[in-house]
Amino acid sequence: MSISRCALTILLVTFTVNSMFAANRTSGRTDQPNTLTKKHGPWMILVASIRPRIDEKNKDEAQYKKDAAKAYAAADALVAELRKKGIPAYKFVQKGEVEEVETLDRLGRQQLRHVNTQQERICVLAGNYESIDDRIAQDTLKWIKEDFEPKSLNGGNFQKTPGRPTPLSGAFLTMNPMLTPAEVRSKRRDPLLRELNNGAEFSLLENDGKYTVVVASFYGKSLTQMGAIDQRKADQVFRKVSRLDEAGLDAWKLAHILRDKRHIEAYVLHDRYQSVVTVGSFDSPDDPEIQKIMQVFGAKITIHPQNGNEILTAEVITNQEQDSKQGNILRTFVFDPKPQLIEIPRLK
């Protein structure tokens, strides 16, 4: 069975578009609110910017309100069309701004004028992408610019890009306007995070809250290369001294002890540098239970038994373990002196 080059191209294009929509479809439900929030993005496609018609010669407020209503309706309709294609889409309203500016009239007298420094616009944004280089973002942008011809772009002064094939050829990738650049950077996900925590018992990624408290940290050993050394030998030495896997196992053991013996809601999170144990699930950083956890697990001031001086002593917990060489042993886990409140990372 043979397929012509033309037919093969059609199949490949169809597969690419369907895959693109399927990847977006999880958050593209048509019953979700249209309004953009900080939870979306951080990178998105600015599909269209629609503004009500303004007749400078005859500023009729009633007519402007009618045109504005049509522009808002057009934005909602465009959002609905994108969502039917499986692409998450949202509406963002950029309000008009009028500023007072001091000017001089023809006689040189000072006067105040009201100037429209920003016209009212209704922006339609689509997609929730981790970065500007996201492959699905680039494929979706290409489709919107070249192939998507919505029926909803009416009721506003939507300006086409001169010399471009479709009404949306001016679409481009941008940051979520609800977020600051710092917030966008903080939302960037480490691709290794999912791999390290996939299927892990007590995984923090399964915690439905927004915040949790880190109570213990476990670090792997590292190798500092001094002078010239054969790369193969260096790799062998590094594999021997790197113990991130042991750090992860220790974190899991401590979480298991806290859950089974202390009935404490404990979680584990692994990243490329350490494994941590956290306690609790909170929707607000002001939850009073957070301070209680920090007080319980944080270091305490005690009296030195020999010199009587006050010292800061970290909390510990011991557990009996079975060692293959030593038999039953008592294992001590040390908690962080100062527990830290963190946001729970999200991979979706």
- In tens, the pLDDT along 155-180 reads 444 555 566 667 788 899 998 988 88
Q: Are residue 154 and residue 41 in the same domain, yes or no?
A: yes
In a domain, 309, yes or no: yes
pLDDT band for 119, please (50, 70, 90 cuts): low
339 plus 233 within the same structural domain: yes
Mean per-residue pLDDT for 100-119? 60
Cis, peptide link before residue 165, omega less than 30° from 0: no
CA pair distance 236, 180, nearest whole angstrom: 44
pLDDT at residue 11 above 90? Answer: no
**Count of domains observed in the chain:** 2
Q: For 83-87, 301-305, 330-334, which range has the lowest pLDDT when averaged over its residues? A: 301-305
pLDDT: which is higher, 308 or 57: 308
The pLDDT confidence band at residue 266, using thresholds 50, 70 and 90, is very high
How far apart CA 27 and CA 32 sit, in angstroms, is 9
Domain that holds residue 144: 5-186
Q: What is the pTM of this model?
A: 0.45
- The answer to whether residues 38 and 181 belong to one domain is yes
Q: Is the pLDDT of residue 301 over 80?
A: yes
One domain for residues 84 and 149? yes
Query: Is residue 62 in a domain?
Result: yes
End-of-domain residue from the set 186, 207, 233: 186
Q: Which residue has the higher pLDDT, 267 or 49?
A: 267
Q: What mean pLDDT is predicted for residues 104-109?
A: 66
Continuous segment of H or E residues that includes residue 128: strand 121-129
Largest CA distance in the chain: 100
Q: How many percent of the chain have pLDDT more than 90?
A: 29
Q: Are 183 and 202 in contact (CB under 8 A)?
A: no
In a shared domain, residues 199 and 271: yes
Tell me what pLDDT residue 256 has.
94
What's the mean pLDDT in 262-267?
A: 95
The helix (run of H) or strand (run of E) holding residue 121 is strand 121-129
In angstroms, rounded to a whole number, what is the distance separating the alpha carbons of residues 148 and 21?
13
Q: Tell me how many degrees the CA angle 196-200-201 measures, rounded to the nearest 5.
A: 155
